[in-house]
Amino acid sequence: MVRSLDELELGGNLPTYKELKPLFDSEEATIEFLSKRGIIDSYERCPRCSHDVKLSSKFTVRCRRPACAFTCPKQCQRCKGTMVPNVSQEIANCTTCQWQWRDGLEFEWSIFRESFLQECKLPKNEVLHCACLWLMKVPSSITADMLGWKADTTSQWYRFFRQIIVQMLDLDGEGCQLGGYNAQGEPIIVEIDESKFARRKYNRGRRVNRDWVVGLVERTRERKCAMVVVKDRTAATCVNIIQKYVKRGSIIHSDMWKAYNPIEKMGMDYKHRKVCHKKEFVNTTDGFRTNTQMIEGTWGAQKKSIPIHKRSGEDLQECLFEFMWRRANAGDLWKALMDGLATVRFAIAETLRVDKVEEPWEPTDMLIRVEDCEDYDSAATEATETDNELEATVNATTVGTTQRRNNDDNDNNTIRRRQATQVPLVEAVPSAVFRERERQNELALEAHQEIVNGYLENDDEGTTDDNARGFL
């Protein structure tokens, strides 16, 4: 039996491909569905002049009335903040994002603004199809092949969906708390355990330093759980997690790890029962059949759903949140996803800009990468250089002069080979090496000119090697 889109909102199993095929085949149908669900905003009337507006081909709403363009708005069209006009009513500034309105500026609004499709250039029906495949736990590589996307694009959208559901979890409220009392007034049992997701292959080789995960699950039909990545599993860490995620008056089952000893001393009316896994898996001596079988089974399901390359870093906690969200909304995943997309609002890129810079940029003589240059100092002079820099400069110049003299003694082929292997200097960059080389050339020219002048002052005539008359 194929259900309609309205029947899918009632919950139940995940929608099939036949039920969602009309949305995947048409982008207009997808936009109409998202607008009906409140995921995207669509204006039917202009918020300034209250006249009817139409949707353009670029999915933007714009009011074309001339009178509206010269009407000072009361609400910012960027962040929906309050506009404060000046005395002449010709300019108005937003108190939140500093957006400025001037006379003649029309009202314009993208229907995808502040939604999960904001600044999305992909077809909207394909994005919804990707969300449905992610909901069905289809690997990202298969999704990329089905939609004709790149693998990186699909992976980024999968991670984006995980980040969306993190905002849907009430991590600081009672939505993620476990235990407490049931409808009959009996305390609920909460099992707690810790696990390390990384392991050594065949238990050989070096020790693997990975983060620990502390998990809790309650013994109810829903089997709600909470999992947190921690750096260690000390008593202080475990006590803080229990106090945050376990309600007052719950019964806590754990193993014999010593970090759980302060549970009954926390002042939360907890009842702590233990089981020693070295001896048995079910403690029958206390009369309550204490065990942690449910949390151990949860570890297996959790590790099976997370790929090995995502069991460390930020991806691990996001995958744990996804598992918590799926467990909490089991049976209503499609409805929970649509409710989340309609509830979660996204920041506008223009409101995140930097208005003031503490250290303003100063223009220089040229834009160049310092790493690509040798001895780069655009503002260096002989007065600012140190003695070590001058000594290194003179040595570099002397070595270069010696190499040139040696090259003159060889044939032209050898000179070409040596010149080809030398590292070229950056002539466009001012450098102490170049200045020292120019100074040496000037000194050589002055010495040569003095010698020539000395010969000219003698005015002695003599015989040259070819027995011709001339000056010596």
Query: For the domain that residue 309 is a member of, what is the CATH number?
Result: 3.30.420.10
Question: Can you give the residue range of the structural domain that contains 106?
Answer: 60-110
Q: Are residues 322 and 420 in the same domain?
A: no
Q: Are residues 223 and 326 in the same domain?
A: yes
pLDDT (0 to 100) of residue 415: 47
Q: What is the mean pLDDT of the chain?
A: 75
Per-residue tokens: 73: 């708005």
Q: Are residues 196 and 99 in the same domain?
A: no
**What's the pLDDT tens digit per position in 302-358?**
888 888 778 777 788 888 889 989 888 888 888 888 888 888 877 655 554 444 434
- Is residue 415 a part of any domain in this protein? yes
**Banded pLDDT at 56 (limits 50, 70, 90):** confident
Q: Are residues 267 and 388 in the same domain?
A: no
Q: Are residues 92 and 186 in the same domain?
A: no
Q: Are residues 375 and 259 in the same domain?
A: no
Helix (H, G, I), strand (E, B) or coil at 229: strand
Percent share of the chain, pLDDT over 70: 72
Query: What Cα–Cα distance (Å) separates residue 73 from each residue in 70, 101, 102, 350, 383?
Result: 9, 8, 10, 19, 61
- Is residue 1 a part of any domain in this protein? no
| Domain end marker among 330, 345, 379 | 330
- Is residue 316 a part of any domain in this protein? yes
Query: What Cα–Cα distance (Å) separates residue 86 from each residue in 89, 91, 127?
Result: 5, 6, 44
- Is residue 28 a part of any domain in this protein? no
Q: Using alpha carbons, select from 78, 73, 77, 79 the residue that is nearest to residue 92.
A: 73
Distance CA 56, CA 259 (A): 62
CB 430 within 8 A of CB 436: no
pLDDT (0 to 100) of residue 446: 85
| Domain end marker among 305, 330, 355 | 330
φ, ψ of residue 60 in degrees (nearest 5): -125, 150
- Is residue 244 a part of any domain in this protein? yes
**Banded pLDDT at 18 (limits 50, 70, 90):** confident
- Is residue 325 a part of any domain in this protein? yes
- Is residue 125 a part of any domain in this protein? no
Q: Are residues 184 and 273 in the same domain?
A: yes
Q: Are residues 103 and 224 in the same domain?
A: no
pTM to 2 decimal places = 0.66
**Banded pLDDT at 80 (limits 50, 70, 90):** confident
| Domain end marker among 110, 127, 147 | 110
Q: Are residues 383 and 323 in the same domain?
A: no
Q: Are residues 179 and 324 in the same domain?
A: yes
Q: Using alpha carbons, select from 327, 239, 342 the residue that is nearest to residue 319.
A: 327
For residue 192, pLDDT beyond 90: yes
- Is residue 289 a part of any domain in this protein? yes
Q: Are residues 178 and 315 in the same domain?
A: yes
Q: Are residues 310 and 437 in the same domain?
A: no
- Report the number of distinct structural domains present in the chain: 3
